[in-house]
A and B are shown apart, each in its own frame.
Chain A
């Protein structure tokens, strides 16, 4: 999954000559927390956050001359110039690492010197849900396989032979050395024959259990 797949576009930006008041209004109107500032050619000049703006314009009880003057100043007086950015072709996990390391809440996405999108925390969470979540009715199986070439091919061949569609698959470390775990969502409500076939092929199905494995050994009707 790439940054291009999850980024927000188009991006709300402000020109570096915009006033602080205009920047505040943009944040408010679009309910956003990060505002990229661009120069005359549309290149990223810097970024301001809602926090920067709040600090620049302390809240006061009365609207006085000083406040009005502050609001009329150009936003470039408070802009952060050094901005961590990403690229549409970067992997989502790299973008997530960048945001975590630099403790930042958003990444402008830059291609050919122009800002083409923006990625925030909530985009990353959505991506996580898409990757791990359920988007089609399916049963989840967890299978332990030896960490060797071709094991996943052997495993998925069983699904094909059983005529059951795989809707998602990921493979991750097992606490046991030399093994991997495959979490597979299969489009069936009755995984019993599938589980039996996976076991017959020598893999360990960690879940679901078959009725015969249960404490009371309850058997189905057929």
Chain B
């Protein structure tokens, strides 16, 4: 495979190749803005120290609807929140744990807290991107299979969150005409893909059921991540947050673990092809970031660091410390499998030691992080038992390191998170607040949010962003000892 000539032909000047200079001298790049964004930042402002001057006081602004202008207005903000209203169509059926309508809750909480300025909003435009970056990661035949499945799959099912159907759940464009006829014939796909063919691509399984328009919304997700990748390269020192992305389990020829296209890998591949940078990928989802690791297993320009619940029982089963990359990339793949019930304190202490060592060792140009929030104690699928205190600390740590070592080029993606009402909105609020340089210590969950969502939630909603202390879990000593063995090994590898 060759780097994409077409993508390279876009206007932005490529970065210089990685250099061994210390991080302090690497931050002040003044690359011109790309074609897809607003005016450049006023001169000189792009070269702050690790975190620049203190951010100007932020005055909350009303949240306009529709909320996402195609371009940021000006560039006063030092971070963008990338979102598109159609992303909520990424959902499978009522019983399925993955449902991007959780993004509605996140946006609602951010709005209620007045945390996003209009100029910080950026909408991805799928018509501005061809499929080439997607095809650099996924097989053409697989992409055809996803398209075919989405044209012939089951019609939509009733909404999980009442009142959110209506204007956004049926797909526009492809699939519209097919909906009626497929009602009668639920599981079939048009030739040349039989249902068995699709199963071989991981499509139509329990984890990745088929739904109308699945290609379109999965591609929109990829475009969101690409938009973020381009934004951070066009705006040195600025950050991009795309909560719709981070679908880290997808493989080049197979859907897996609720993921269709691996938007994180496509964005990283695009960064390699177009800018020839060294990318540090950090994955704090409770599950091992297996798809991203596999895709770059022999690529020395990408270091992946995945910290996750051990795969002894948990999906996907990989992510052992001995998975370290292959050939020229040996040593650039880092895995930190932790015991169930590790909890905040040990998790954060281990993460910090590993990340500092990884940044020191690898000296990335760009940081792409995956912020799955399914390691929370309330999450129904996992057992690490974190609280939102960890989800306040993780972005803080990554932000500081990205600003210090990588000139602030930081793209933060979403990921897993299956307690839609209690965990995802609060955890990702902390993430955005951090990236936007308005870090929150804690806040009350505004009444307007509670009024809107409590009646739809099956459980009482928390009243504050920060969880109160949870009762301690027994067996702490044994858990700590096992994690210490893992940490020691990982740090030895990173020396």
Contact B97 A139 (CB under 8 A): no
Given contacts A137-B257, A137-B316, A190-B381, contact A221 B458 (CB under 8 A): yes
- Is the C-beta of A67 less than 8 angstroms from some C-beta in chain B? no
Contact A189 B383 (CB under 8 A): no
- Is the C-beta of A87 less than 8 angstroms from some C-beta in chain B? no
- Is the C-beta of B444 less than 8 angstroms from some C-beta in chain A? no
Contact-size category for A = 20 to 34
A199 to chain B, nearest CB (A): 16
Q: Report chain B residues within 8 Å CB of A190.
A: 96-97, 206-207, 381
B160 to chain A, nearest CB (A): 7
Q: Report chain B residues within 8 Å CB of A222.
A: 94-95, 97, 160, 458
Contact B206 A164 (CB under 8 A): yes
- Is the C-beta of A181 less than 8 angstroms from some C-beta in chain B? no
> Bound state CA distance, A219 and B457, in angstroms?
11
| Contacts of B7-31 to chain A: CB distance below 8 A | none
Given contacts A189-B287, A220-B418, contact A139 B315 (CB under 8 A): yes
B203 to chain A, nearest CB (A): 13
Contact A220 B97 (CB under 8 A): yes
Q: Report chain B residues within 8 Å CB of A218.
A: 377-378, 380, 419
Contact B317 A140 (CB under 8 A): yes
- Is the C-beta of A138 less than 8 angstroms from some C-beta in chain B? yes
Contact B207 A188 (CB under 8 A): yes
| Contacts of B282-327 to chain A: CB distance below 8 A | 287, 290, 311-318
- Is the C-beta of A142 less than 8 angstroms from some C-beta in chain B? yes
Q: Report chain A residues within 8 Å CB of B420.
A: 221
Q: Which residue of B lies closest to A220 (CB)?
A: B380
Given contacts A187-B207, A219-B380, contact A134 B316 (CB under 8 A): yes
Annotate A202-222 by CB proximity to B: 1 below 8 A, 0 otherwise: 000001110100111011111
A206 to chain B, nearest CB (A): 10
Q: Which residue of B lies closest to A165 (CB)?
A: B205
Total interface residues in chain B, CB < 8 Å: 39
Q: Which residue of B lies closest to A138 (CB)?
A: B317
Q: Report chain A residues within 8 Å CB of B428.
A: none
Q: Which residue of B lies closest to A168 (CB)?
A: B317
Q: Report chain B residues within 8 Å CB of A214.
A: 377, 383
Given contacts A134-B311, A163-B206, A221-B420, contact A139 B317 (CB under 8 A): yes
Most buried by B among A137, A162, A214: A137
| Contacts of B445-460 to chain A: CB distance below 8 A | 457-459
- Is the C-beta of A141 less than 8 angstroms from some C-beta in chain B? yes
B18 to chain A, nearest CB (A): 32
- Is the C-beta of A192 less than 8 angstroms from some C-beta in chain B? yes
Binding site for B on A (CB under 8 A): 134, 137-142, 162-165, 185, 187-190, 192-193, 207-209, 211, 214-216, 218-222
Q: Can you name 10 A-B pairs with beta carbons within 8 Å?
A: A137-B290, A138-B315, A138-B316, A187-B205, A189-B249, A189-B381, A190-B381, A216-B377, A220-B379, A221-B458
